[in-house]
Amino acid sequence: SVTCTAEDLVVALRAVSAAVVDHGDELTELDRAIGDADHGENMRRGFLAVAAKVDSPGQTTPAAVLKAVGTTLISTVGGASGPLYGTAFLRAATSLADVSEVDGVAVAAALRAALGGVVARGRAEVGDKTMVDALAPAADAAATAAEGGGDVPAVLAAAAEAAERGAESTKPLVARKGRASYLGERSAGHLDPGARSTALVLRALATAAGA
């Protein structure tokens, strides 16, 4: 549909969970090259817990669903990415307040808020070879799509497309944050795992929205 209810969001999160499980090995291989080979397992554990959590009734607004996602990710993922993803979802939840249906403008605002949370926690900038390199262009593209009158599928499609390009852009970069930064120049030539997982999550949300 063109807007998104709590129920739509739960369906979409099941799709995100499935996508993360499907791509777990890919994420782990990316993290093996420039990290400690656990990003796939961290994400798989977190999003399987998310899928189980949202299966229990009780979250009646999109914000309540996103809040449950954030707290679940913080308590299950661990590593650098757990608190960062968790904060992203918690900030997105706050930005949606208590509306029962989210439109394109609200999705764009939620992505902007999610980015703000990741930056507040991790202090990474665009170009540091982190998930920010996917999420920042996604938030920008979502804002442009929403300003142009885009509905939820259109805004999420724009975000996913920009995140995929942003994730690809991390390949030549030298990491300046997180575990990959320990490698210095040797981190160049590999995609950042967290940027790739961010693109995967946004693509799964877009596809679930019918984009």
Rounded to whole angstroms, the Cα distance separating 95 from 154 reads 20
CB of 37 to Mg ion, least distance (A): 7
Q: Is-contact 118 87, C-beta < 8 A? A: yes
Side chain identity at residue 76, one-letter code: T
Q: Given candidates 16, 30, 38, 167, which one binds Mg ion under the rule CB under 5 A?
A: 38
Interacting residues toward ligand ADP by CB under 6 A: 31, 35-36, 38-39, 42, 79-81, 84, 118, 122-124, 130-132, 177-179, 192-195
Among residues 19, 6, 30, 27, the alpha carbon closest in space to that of 190 is found at 30
Written as six digits, the tokens of 126 are 């665009």
Binding at 17: pick from ligand ADP, Mg ion, none (beta carbon under 5-8 Å per type): none
Binding at 81: pick from ligand ADP, Mg ion, none (beta carbon under 5-8 Å per type): ligand ADP
The answer to whether residue 36 forms part of the interface with Mg ion (CB under 5 A) is: yes
CB of 91 to ligand ADP, least distance (A): 14
Stretch that binds Mg ion, among 5-13, 16-24, 36-44, 146-154 (CB under 5 A): 36-44
Among residues 57, 12, 35, the alpha carbon closest in space to that of 209 is found at 12
End-to-end CA distance of the chain: 10
Q: Where are the beta strands (DSSP E) in the chain?
A: 4-5, 101-102
CB of 177 to ligand ADP, least distance (A): 4
Residue recorded with tokens 């442009």: 144
Q: Is-contact 156 209, C-beta < 8 A? A: yes
The answer to whether residue 35 forms part of the interface with Mg ion (CB under 5 A) is: yes
Decide whether 35 or 153 has the Cβ nearer to ligand ADP: 35
Tell me the β-bridge partners of 102: 4
Q: Other CB atoms closer than 10 Å to residue 121's CB: what's the count?
A: 15
Among residues 16, 14, 41, the alpha carbon closest in space to that of 27 is found at 41
CB of 146 to ligand ADP, least distance (A): 24
Site string for Mg ion, 66-105 (x = CB under 5 A): -------------x--------------------------
Binding-site residue total for Mg ion (CB under 5 A)? 6
Decide whether 4 or 124 has the Cβ nearer to ligand ADP: 124
Interface positions with Mg ion (CB under 5 A)? 31, 35-36, 38-39, 79
